[in-house]
Copies of this chain bind each other. A is one copy, B any other.
Amino acid sequence: MLKENKKRYHHGDLKAALITAGLELLEEVGLDDLSLRAIAARVGVSHTAPKNHFGSLKGLLSTMAAEGFRRHAAEMKKGVEGTSPGKERLRAATAGYVRFAREHPSLFRLMFSPVLARDETDELAEAGASSYAVLQSVAAGLDWPRPKLTQPELQSWQNEMLLWTIVHGYASLLIEGRGPKKDDGTPLLDILEIMPDFDFVQSK
């Protein structure tokens, strides 16, 4: 192990350090006030150093968003493990989805930010897919209500998208601070309160 306290010209693992510092600063100051120069300064490096590894600010943000999706997926998987298929698993996955958004609102917004949506990196697309896959697996065990039983079940992609729509809409409104609140300021709507608990959907 080389001397660690002495400042070296080459950082050694600047790429990873920038991602970490970027994620930290993102949580501290929010997406709008996040600057490339501030991230570089936190790592103790000149403000143009990130260009070698990420090309531009957008490249760095894109990588950060990919890391966000991986953590997002992990947060959902963590709760899902050990649960039985059906409502319990649905509850765990949606809770993980919303919990992540609540605890990391800036990162969550970055992940779905239009700045990165268009020209996705392969890494970002892959990370996003891994997150979607968790919802996909959960949705497979569901049967949405069919008032007229003659109507066919939803197709699997409809199952997934409907689940995603609801949980994503809820998480979005939540972190935007919209919607009714209790007297103490906490959000009044808990999605668990109106979805699985209400038998809104049934497991097959």
Binding site for B on A (CB under 8 A): 30-32, 105, 109, 112, 114-115, 117-118, 128, 144-148, 151, 154, 157-158, 161-162, 164-170, 172-173, 175-180, 188-189, 191, 193-194, 198-200, 202
- A169: chain B residues at CB < 8 Å are 164-170, 172
Q: Could you tell me the distance between the alpha carbons of A59 and B115 in the complex, rounded to whole angstroms?
A: 23
Closest 9 CB pairs of A and B: A169-B169, A145-B145, A165-B169, A168-B169, A161-B189, A165-B170, A117-B177, A147-B199, A158-B194
| Given the contacts A109-B114, A145-B200, A188-B157, A165 and B166 also touching, CB distance less than 8 Å | yes
Contact between B32 and A202, CB atoms less than 8 A apart: no
Chain B residue with minimal CB distance to A143? B147
7 contacts between A and B (CB under 8 A): A105-B114, A118-B177, A158-B189, A158-B194, A161-B173, A161-B179, A169-B170
- A148: chain B residues at CB < 8 Å are 199
Quick one: which of B31, B180, B198 contacts A154, CB cutoff 8 A? Answer: B198
What is the total number of copies of this protein in its complex? 2
Q: Could you tell me the distance between the alpha carbons of A157 and B144 in the complex, rounded to whole angstroms?
A: 22
Q: Name the residue among A128, A165, A172, A179 with the largest chain B CB count within 10 angstroms.
A: A165
Quick one: which of B115, B165, B167 contacts A32, CB cutoff 8 A? Answer: B115
Chain B residue with minimal CB distance to A147? B199
- A105: chain B residues at CB < 8 Å are 114
Contact between A172 and B112, CB atoms less than 8 A apart: yes
| Given the contacts A147-B202, A199-B148, A202-B147, A191 and B165 also touching, CB distance less than 8 Å | yes
Q: Could you tell me the distance between the alpha carbons of A112 and B157 in the complex, rounded to whole angstroms?
A: 27
| Given the contacts A117-B177, A145-B147, A178-B112, A168 and B172 also touching, CB distance less than 8 Å | yes
- A158: chain B residues at CB < 8 Å are 189, 193-194
- A176: chain B residues at CB < 8 Å are 112, 114, 117
- A145: chain B residues at CB < 8 Å are 145, 147, 200
